[in-house]
């Protein structure tokens, strides 16, 4: 008898488990329909994943002969998703599909469904330059703030001015003010500081 629907089913159509409550005469069992429903529901309600009975996980392999290939595939994908630390999801909101680690090269994750590229660091759409959510970058930004370094407004590359005027020409082609990082000649900052120019002339 199925422990879920309480109906009698042919033995070949029932998965018999080893668990049972203290007062139960027989171990628990699930018919094909109830077991498939349990596994299917767990894919949309993660509080039920992985499926359990009496707190004991029901292995996917135990009911594999009841499941369709599609359900097996989706289960394995969900298992990988929930087992992945800091998972990455497609930044395309109409997709939002989990991107497995195997589809992440360096820090760029490529969705196999819509081909959208997502930054695995900040989880937003692929962007140029370093990612502000990278731990190493965070440490560098902290040092940069202490030393008053500046970042390119376009590609976010870090620069340090030792000598010369405040006119910065980045490798990405952007030109900006070292004092405030605004595009060059769009701010009211002075174009140089005398001390830096004096050092340059010595």
Answering whether pTM is above 0.85, one says no
Is the predicted pLDDT of residue 35 greater than 90, yes or no? yes
Helices (H), the chain: 32-42, 69-83, 135-147, 194-201
**Rounded-to-integer distance, Cα 150 and Cα 137, Å:** 14
Residue 201: per-residue pLDDT: 47
What average pLDDT does the segment 18-40 reach? 88
Asked if 40 and 30 count as a contact pair (C-beta separation under 8 A), the reply is: no
Residue 128: per-residue pLDDT: 77
**Rounded-to-integer distance, Cα 185 and Cα 67, Å:** 66
Residue 63's φ and ψ, nearest 5 degrees, are -110, 15
Residue 195: per-residue pLDDT: 66
**Rounded-to-integer distance, Cα 116 and Cα 23, Å:** 54
Residue 197: per-residue pLDDT: 59
Residue 113: per-residue pLDDT: 94
**Rounded-to-integer distance, Cα 115 and Cα 104, Å:** 12
Residue 198: per-residue pLDDT: 56
Asked if 38 and 69 count as a contact pair (C-beta separation under 8 A), the reply is: no
Q: Indicate the SS3 state at residue 156.
A: coil
> Is 66 or 200 the better-scoring residue by pLDDT?
66
pLDDT (tens digit per residue) in 38-90? 999 999 998 999 999 998 999 999 999 999 999 999 999 999 999 999 899 99
User: Tokens representing 6?
Assistant: 């309480």
> Is 30 or 133 the better-scoring residue by pLDDT?
30
pLDDT (tens digit per residue) in 79-127? 999 999 989 999 999 999 999 999 999 889 999 999 999 999 889 899 8
- Of 66, 71, 69, 17, nearest in space to 41 by CA: 71
pLDDT (tens digit per residue) in 137-189? 778 778 888 888 888 888 777 888 888 889 998 877 789 999 899 999 999 99
**Rounded-to-integer distance, Cα 184 and Cα 64, Å:** 64
């Amino acid at each position: 008898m199925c422990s879920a629907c309480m109906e009698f089913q042919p033995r070949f159509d029932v998965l018999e488990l080893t668990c049972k409550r203290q007062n139960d005469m027989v171990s628990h069992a699930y018919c094909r329909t109830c077991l498939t429903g349990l596994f299917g529901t767990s894919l949309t309600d993660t509080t039920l994943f992985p499926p359990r009975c009496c707190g004991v996980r029901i292995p996917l392999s135990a009911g594999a002969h009841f499941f369709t290939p599609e359900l097996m595939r989706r289960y394995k994908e969900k298992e990988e998703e929930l087992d992945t630390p800091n998972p990455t999801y497609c930044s395309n909101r109409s997709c939002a599909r989990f991107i497995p680690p195997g589809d992440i090269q360096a820090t760029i994750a490529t969705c196999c469904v819509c081909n959208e590229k997502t930054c695995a660091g900040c989880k937003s759409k692929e962007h140029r330059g370093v990612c502000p959510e990278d731990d190493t970058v965070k440490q560098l930004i902290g040092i940069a703030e202490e030393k008053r370094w500046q970042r390119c407004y376009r590609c976010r590359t870090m620069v340090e001015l030792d000598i010369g005027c405040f006119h910065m020409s980045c490798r990405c082609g952007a030109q900006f003010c070292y004092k405030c990082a605004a595009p060059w000649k769009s701010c009211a900052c002075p174009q140089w500081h005398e001390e830096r120019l004096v050092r340059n002339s010595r």
